[in-house]
C-alpha cells in the first residue's frame, strides 16, 4: 500500500485546510496517511530524510526540511535489505491545500501501489508518525495523525488573517493592472510610435549614458526622476531617499553634474535643475526653457507642478506629460 505523507505545521500555510481536503481520501483506505509536524521532526529520522529531499526536483522540502506552505508527497513503499518497509520514490507531490489535490491524489495512488511476489498488493508496515504529532483517532486501521487542534479563537484569527491577506493580494493585483493600463495609455499619448512604458524608461537610462553622466548617486536620482516624469507616476519618498544619498557637493557641483545632460536637452526646450545647500540636494526640477512648465520634487518628498500656459489647474501627471513629450526624442530616439 502506498504512503501519503503530509508535511506541515502551525507556521506552514494551508496545513489545516489540506487535512480537511484529504479527509474523504483517508476514509477510503487506499493509502497509509501520515502527518509530519516539521517543527518537531527529527531531521535524522527516515521521515526527516524524506522531508530533506530535493525541493528543485519536487521530491521534498529541501535541505532544511521546512517550508512556509504545507507539502504532500505520494510515495511508493518498498521493502529494504533489512526486511522492513521504507518510503521509496515519490510518485506525485503537492504544495498548499487546494481542493483539487484530493482528486488528483486518488488518481496518482495507483502508480504508487507496491506489487508483491504473492500477487496483488498488501499493506505496508505502519510507518511511525513524526515525533510529537497527535493521532486524531489512533485505532487498528491506522487513522493518520493530525496536527495539534486549534482553538475556535485561533482558527477564527487564522481565517481572518488569511482573508485579509487574500484581499490585500487582490487589491495589489488590481492596482498593478490599473498602473500597467495607465502606463500603456500614457506611452501611446506621448507618441504614436510602438513603445511600451518600460522601453521609455530604459530609453531614458540609455540617454543619460549617452550624455556621459558619471555613475553615482546623482545619476541614480536623475534616472529615477526622468522615469517617473515619463510614466507620470511620482513617488516623492523614493526620490527624496535618492536625494539624501547625494552628499559632499561642492558649490555648483550639482549643476556641473547635470551640465552635459542639459546641453543634450536644450534642443528639446527643457532642462533639469538641482538646488543644493550644505553639500546636499534640496530639490530637483524639470522645466521648459521658457519656465512656464515645471515639475519639482523637494527633499521631503513633496511633488509640485506648474503650468503658466493655462488658467485652469492641471495635475502634476498632466503637466509631466507635456514635459515628457518634449524629451521623447531622447528617451526613445
Q: What distance in Å separates the CA atoms of residue 118 and residue 107, rounded to the nearest whole number? A: 25
- Express each pLDDT in 283-327 by its tens digit: 999 999 988 899 999 999 999 998 887 766 788 888 888 888 888
What are 270's three cell numbers? Answer: 527643457
Q: Count of domains in the chain?
A: 2
Asked whether the beta carbons of 2 and 91 are under 8 A apart, the reply is: yes
Domain membership of residue 153 (yes or no) is no
Same domain, 207 and 273: yes
Domain endpoint, select from 118, 136, 154? 136
Q: Are residues 305 and 237 in the same domain?
A: yes
Asked if the structure places residue 182 within a domain, the reply is no
122 and 48 fall within a common domain = yes
User: What is the rounded CA–CA span in Å between residue 67 and residue 154?
Assistant: 21
Instruction: Please state, in angstroms and as integers, the Cα–Cα distance from residue 49 to each residue in 8, 66, 68, following that order.
Output: 15, 12, 18
CB 149 within 8 A of CB 136: no
Is 325 a member of any domain? Answer: yes
Residues 130 and 198 in one domain: no
Residue 148 DSSP symbol: P
**Which structural domain, as residue segments, surrounds residue 224?**
193-331
* 199 & 325 share domain: yes
| Distance (Å, whole) CA 329 – CA 331 | 6
Residue 246: predicted pLDDT: 93
Does residue 145 contact residue 153 with C-beta atoms inside 8 Å? Answer: no
CATH at residue 97: 3.40.30
**Same-domain status, 46 and 126:** yes
3-state secondary structure 105-119: HHHHHHHHCCCCCCC
Query: Are residues 131 and 210 both part of a single domain?
Result: no
**Cβ distance 237 to 294 under 8 Å?**
no
How many CB atoms neighbour CB 122 within 10 A?
10
Question: Could you tell me what percent of the chain has a pLDDT over 90?
Answer: 21
161 assigned to some structural domain: no
Same domain flag for 88 and 207:
no
Q: Are residues 97 and 211 in the same domain?
A: no
Q: How far apart are CA 190 and CA 178, in angstroms?
A: 18
Quote the cell numbers at residue 107. Answer: 488518481
The domain boundary, picked from 136, 154, 183, lies at 136
147 domain-assigned? no
Looking at the fold, whether 102 and 212 belong to one and the same domain comes out as no
- pLDDT < 70 positions in the chain: 56-58, 112-152, 154-155, 183, 191-195, 311-312, 329, 332-333
Judge if 120 and 45 occupy the same domain.
yes
Whole-number pLDDT of residue 23: 81
Domain boundary, last residue among 67, 101, 136: 136
Give the β-pairing of 3-8 and 32-37.
parallel
What's the pLDDT at 253? 92
- pLDDT confidence of residue 312: 67
- The pLDDT assigned to 194 comes to 66
Same domain, 113 and 228: no
β-pairing, 85-95 vs 32-37, is unpaired
CA 188 to chain centre: 29
Give the cell for residue 78: 518498498
Give one DSSP letter per residue of 87-146, joined into a string.
Answer: EEEEEEEEES--TTHHHHHHHHHHHHPPP-TTSS--PPPPPPPPTTPEESS-STT-PPEE
Report which DSSP code applies to 29.
T
Between helix 236-244 and helix 217-231 the angle, nearest 10°, is 170
Does some domain include residue 149?
A: no
Closest CA to 302 of 318, 317, 284: 284
Residue 158 lies in a domain: no
Using the structure block, give the residue that is written with the C-alpha cell 521534498. Answer: 60
What pLDDT shows up at residue 128?
39
pLDDT score of 40: 86
Q: Which of 263, 267, 314, 266 is nearest to 293 (CA)?
A: 314
Rounded CA separation 32/10 (Å): 22
Distances (CA, A) of 202 to 109, 195, 269, 333: 51, 11, 22, 12
In a domain, 202, yes or no: yes
Amino acid at each position: 500500500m502506498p504512503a501519503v505523507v503530509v508535511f506541515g505545521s502551525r507556521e506552514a500555510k494551508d496545513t489545516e485546510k489540506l487535512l480537511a481536503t484529504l479527509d474523504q481520501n483517508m476514509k477510503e483506505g487506499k493509502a497509509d496517511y501520515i502527518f509530519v509536524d516539521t517543527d518537531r521532526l527529527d531531521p535524522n529520522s527516515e521521515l526527516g530524510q524524506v522531508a530533506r529531499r530535493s525541493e528543485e526536483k519536487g521530491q521534498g522540502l529541501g535541505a532544511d526540511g521546512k517550508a512556509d506552505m504545507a507539502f504532500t508527497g505520494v510515495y511508493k513503499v518498498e521493502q529494504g535489505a533489512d526486511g522492513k518497509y521504507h518510503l521509496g520514490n515519490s510518485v506525485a507531490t503537492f504544495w498548499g491545500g487546494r481542493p483539487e489535490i484530493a482528486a488528483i491524489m486518488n488518481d496518482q495512488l495507483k502508480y504508487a501501489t507496491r506489487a508483491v511476489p504473492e500477487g496483488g498488493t498488501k499493506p505496508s508496515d505502519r510507518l511511525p508518525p513524526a515525533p510529537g504529532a497527535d493521532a486524531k483517532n489512533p485505532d487498528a486501521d491506522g487513522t493518520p495523525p493530525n496536527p495539534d487542534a486549534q482553538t475556535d479563537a485561533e482558527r477564527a484569527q487564522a481565517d481572518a488573517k488569511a482573508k485579509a491577506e487574500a484581499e490585500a493580494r487582490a487589491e495589489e493585483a488590481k492596482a498593478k493592472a490599473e498602473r500597467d493600463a495607465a502606463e500603456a495609455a500614457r506611452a501611446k499619448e506621448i507618441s504614436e510610435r510602438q513603445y511600451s512604458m518600460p522601453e521609455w524608461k530604459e530609453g531614458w537610462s540609455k540617454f543619460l549614458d549617452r550624455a556621459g553622466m558619471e555613475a553615482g548617486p546623482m545619476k541614480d536620482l536623475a534616472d529615477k526622476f526622468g522615469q517617473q516624469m515619463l510614466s507620470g507616476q511620482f513617488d516623492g519618498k523614493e526620490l527624496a531617499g535618492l536625494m539624501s544619498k547625494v552628499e559632499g557637493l561642492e558649490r555648483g557641483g550639482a549643476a556641473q553634474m547635470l551640465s552635459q545632460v542639459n546641453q543634450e536637452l536644450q534642443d528639446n526646450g527643457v532642462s533639469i535643475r538641482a538646488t543644493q545647500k550644505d553639500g546636499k540636494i534640496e530639490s530637483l526640477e524639470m522645466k521648459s526653457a521658457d519656465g512656464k512648465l515645471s515639475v519639482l520634487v523637494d527633499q521631503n518628498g513633496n511633488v509640485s507642478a506648474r503650468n503658466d500656459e493655462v488658467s485652469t489647474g492641471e495635475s502634476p501627471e498632466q503637466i509631466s506629460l507635456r514635459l515628457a513629450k518634449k524629451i521623447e526624442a531622447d528617451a526613445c530616439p
